[in-house]
Structure 1
């Protein structure tokens, strides 16, 4: 019992320490202020992995080829956009591509590096 209590205390101390070094600019972003939504999403995913094959056991497989083509193409476009924005923002901020210290200021170039868009938009403020 003492080992369990010690493990829980160490975990809580690690969590509190991680909160002290977190980037204050992103603490209001979705899934950033609390680990519970992320744990709920991960648990739901694991539940889906367990129940999905049972649900589909006696059913025809879904025809998702066209859906997956559209999804994969959109992911390529989205990731290209993220890479382009990151490169342009890092260049505008004068980043060194070998080693760069973290700047926690609200400088627009620094915020742009932390977000794939210039203005994080609704839900990100």
Structure 2
């Protein structure tokens, strides 16, 4: 136990990036882990118990404002990733982390922290599900996915705030700009539905995103001269493979095999479902609903639950 403790202290105190050591939540992984556990416990235990005998909240105006803020926030992070490296400064084939305190290196590290912070603001997606009693969206894997993302990003920020693997965050924030804008419009009511006819293409964009992520990461493994840490490359590539698989099944069920829509899985994180009500939106006319929003996971694939 002493050896394990000494290894942990050395890892956290001496091997992390000293520039971020004193930043909020960065001196230790435990506050982030505690936040993730509290989030998961609320969504799977406290929240459902609290709402069991209460009427579901609507939050229409709140959801419009929330999605607008998320859209602007994602756009700002995307811009900062471009300006701090990816717009002409970074190398797309092998980009090491700049650990200096130059203005552009510090700007990239600062952007990575704000991306880490955005993983906490996304907790609100599931909280809204719970308070609106959208139980089919609050699957175990949805909660696990959102619950582990802050912890995963924490390690990247702690040890490698910049460089090659930030490409996935660049793509992710770009998709979030479009995604949260879509949810904002859907939350505004039925009369705006004609402006969001492109939901199918948003799902297709998400698939392209995952292909680009794991392709960009794995090509480093075939470049022995590239000294970027392999563990981050493999970890992010695994995320890309997993979500490409899940979204591919979703896309085929929703758009390639429409006759099987009644059995199609719902609740994929960020997936746009033809049949379910919007996460942050509202039903149109009777019998017609706004597409599902920031969704959950593979539980629905297993259960094949009908959309409520």
Would you call these one fold, judging by a TM-score over 0.5? yes
Which one is further off, 86-95 or 17-26? 86-95
The yes-or-no answer on 1:43 pairing with 2:34 is no
Verify the 8 A CA contact 2:21 2:27 in the aligned structure 1.
Answer: yes
**Conserved 8 A contact 1:92-1:109:** no
1:17 aligns with 2:16: no
Distance in 1, matches of 2:76 and 2:53, equals: 41
1:92 Cα shift?
A: 7.5
Partner of 1:100: 95
How far apart, in 2, do the equivalents of 1:112 and 1:83 lie?
Answer: 13
Matched, 1:26 2:25: no
Runs of 4+ in 1 over 4 A off after TM superposition: 8-12
Residue of structure 1 in register with 2:192 after alignment: none
Per the normalisation by structure 1, the TM-score is: 0.74
Deviation at 1:69, TM superposition (A): 2.0
Partner-residue secondary structure (3-state), 2:19: helix
**Matched residue of 1:34: which SS?**
coil
| Partner Cα separation in structure 1 for residue 89 and residue 32 of structure 2 | 34
Q: 1:97 to 1:61 in 2, by over 3 A?
A: same
2:70 alignment partner in structure 1 = 75
What SS does the aligned partner of 2:38 have? Answer: helix
Q: Is the 8 A contact 2:12 2:28 kept in 1?
A: no
Q: Which has the higher contact order (CA 8 A, sep 6+)?
A: 1
Contact 2:98 2:105 in 1 (8 A): yes
Correspondence for 2:84: 89
Change (3 A) 1:9 1:46: farther
Unpaired runs of 5+ in structure 1? 118-125
Write 1 or 2 for the structure with the bigger share of helix. Answer: 2
Corresponding residue pairs, total: 111
Gaps of 5+ in 2: 113-308
Deviation at 1:114, TM superposition (A): 1.1
Measured in 2, the distance between the counterparts of 1:78 and 1:67 equals 16
Partner SS, residue 102 of structure 1: coil
Q: Check the 8 A contact 2:77/2:111 in 1, yes or no.
A: yes
Contact 1:93 1:109 in 2 (8 A): no
**TM-score normalised over the length of structure 2:** 0.32
1:44-86 CA-to-partner distances (Å, cap 9, x unmatched) read 2123121111111111001112212211121111111111111
Range that drifts further, 81-90 or 17-26: 17-26
2:109 is the counterpart of 1:114: yes
The answer to whether structure 1 residue 64 and structure 2 residue 59 are counterparts is: yes
How far apart, in 2, do the equivalents of 1:11 and 1:57 lie? 43
Report the more deviating stretch, 15-24 or 81-90.
15-24
In 2, Cα distance between equivalents of 1:47 and 1:9: 32
The Cα RMSD (Å) is 2.5
